[in-house]
Chains A and B, each alone.
Chain A
Amino acid sequence: MSRKAMLCLIAALACGPAAHAQQAAPAEIKIGHVHAASGAYASISMPVYDGLKLWIDQQNAGGGAMVKPFGKKIPLKLISYDDQSNPGTAATLINQLITQDKVDILVADSGSVLTAVAVPIAREHKMLLFNPTGTGAPFFTKDNPYIALLADPASTIWPKYLAGFLTTDGVKDGLKRLAILYATNDFTTTQANALRGFVKQSGAAIDIVYDQGVPTNTSNYGVLINNIAAAKPDAVVELGYVGNDIAFLRNLQDAGQKFKFLFALYPGVETDEVLKNVGAQAMDHVFTYVTSQAIEYKPNVGMTLDQFREAFEKSYKGQGVEFGFNAIAGYHSGLMIGQALADTDSLQQLDLRRALFAQSGKVTTLDGTFELDDTGAQIGEITPLGQIIADPKGAVRNVVVFPHELAAGKPLYE
Chain B
Amino acid sequence: MLLHAALSGLVFGFYFTLVGLGLNLVFGVMRIVNLAHGDFLMLGAYSAFWLFGLYHLHPLLSAACVLVVFTLVGLPLYYLVVPRLLAARDSEMLSLILFFGLQQMIEAVTSIAFGTTERSIPGRVLGSGPVRLLGQALPTSWVFSAGVSLAAVALVYVYLYQTRLGMLTRAVMVSREEAVATGIDLHRVCAIAFGLGLGLAGIAGVFAPFMLGSVTPAIGPEINIAAFAVIVVGTLGNPLGTVLGGIVYGVSLMLMQTYLSSWANLLPNLLLIAVLLVRPTGLLGRRVRRA
Report yes or no: A254 in contact with B123, Cβ–Cβ below 8 A: yes
Report yes or no: A218 in contact with B264, Cβ–Cβ below 8 A: yes
Report yes or no: A243 in contact with B214, Cβ–Cβ below 8 A: yes
Contact of A277 among B107, B120, B136 (CB under 8 A): B120
Report yes or no: B118 in contact with A277, Cβ–Cβ below 8 A: yes
Q: Mark B138-173, 1 if CB is under 8 A from A, else 0.
A: 111110000000000000000000000000000000
What are the residues of chain B within 8 A of A40 when measuring CB–CB?
A: 216, 218
Report yes or no: A255 in contact with B139, Cβ–Cβ below 8 A: yes
What are the residues of chain B within 8 A of A39 when measuring CB–CB?
A: 218
What are the residues of chain A within 8 A of B217 when measuring CB–CB?
A: 38, 42
Which of these binds chain B: A89-97, A209-217, A376-384? Answer: A209-217
Known contacts being A213-B261, A247-B213, is A38 close to B115, with CB within 8 Å? no
Segment 211-255 of B: residues with Cβ below 8 Å from A:
211-214, 216-218, 222, 253-254
Report yes or no: A43 in contact with B117, Cβ–Cβ below 8 A: yes
Q: Mark A185-228, 1 if CB is under 8 A from B, else 0.
A: 00000000000000000000000000011110111111110110
A330 to chain B, nearest CB (A): 14
Nearest B residue to A37 by beta-carbon distance?
Answer: B111
Report yes or no: B254 in contact with A223, Cβ–Cβ below 8 A: yes
Report yes or no: A223 in contact with B257, Cβ–Cβ below 8 A: yes
Report yes or no: B218 in contact with A42, Cβ–Cβ below 8 A: yes
Segment 161-193 of B: residues with Cβ below 8 Å from A:
none
In the complex, number of A-B residue pairs with CB atoms less than 8 Å apart:
134
Known contacts being A222-B142, A250-B120, A320-B117, is A42 close to B258, with CB within 8 Å? no
Report yes or no: A321 in contact with B8, Cβ–Cβ below 8 A: no
What are the residues of chain A within 8 A of B211 when measuring CB–CB?
A: 219-220
Q: How large is the interface on B (under 10, 10 to 19, 20 to 34, 35 or more residues)?
A: 35 or more
Contact of A256 among B130, B222, B254, B257 (CB under 8 A): B130
Report yes or no: B213 in contact with A243, Cβ–Cβ below 8 A: yes
Q: Mark B103-117, 1 if CB is under 8 A from A, else 0.
A: 000011001011111
Report yes or no: B139 in contact with A243, Cβ–Cβ below 8 A: no
Chain B CB within 8 A of A109 CB: no
Nearest A residue to B255 by beta-carbon distance?
Answer: A223
Segment 249-274 of A: residues with Cβ below 8 Å from B:
250-251, 253-257, 273
Report yes or no: A253 in contact with B123, Cβ–Cβ below 8 A: yes
Contact of A222 among B111, B113, B116, B138 (CB under 8 A): B138
Known contacts being A242-B118, A250-B120, A255-B137, is A42 close to B111, with CB within 8 Å? yes
With A and B bound together, what is the CA distance between A242 and B12 in angstroms?
22
Report yes or no: B130 in contact with A254, Cβ–Cβ below 8 A: yes
Nearest B residue to A226 by beta-carbon distance?
Answer: B4
A164 to chain B, nearest CB (A): 28
With A and B bound together, what is the CA distance between A44 and B123 in angstroms?
24
Report yes or no: A212 in contact with B261, Cβ–Cβ below 8 A: yes
What are the residues of chain B within 8 A of A184 when measuring CB–CB?
A: 262
Report yes or no: A220 in contact with B213, Cβ–Cβ below 8 A: yes
Chain A CB within 8 A of B134 CB: no
With A and B bound together, what is the CA distance between A248 and B118 in angstroms?
14
Nearest B residue to A252 by beta-carbon distance?
Answer: B139
Chain A CB within 8 A of B122 CB: yes
Report yes or no: B214 in contact with A223, Cβ–Cβ below 8 A: no
Jot down 12 A-B pairs with beta carbons below 8 A, ordered by A: A213-B261, A214-B262, A219-B212, A220-B211, A222-B139, A247-B212, A247-B214, A250-B120, A254-B139, A256-B137, A278-B120, A279-B122
Which residues of B come within 8 Å of A, CB atoms? 1, 4-5, 8-9, 12, 107-108, 111, 113-120, 122-123, 129-130, 136-142, 211-214, 216-218, 222, 253-254, 257-258, 261-265
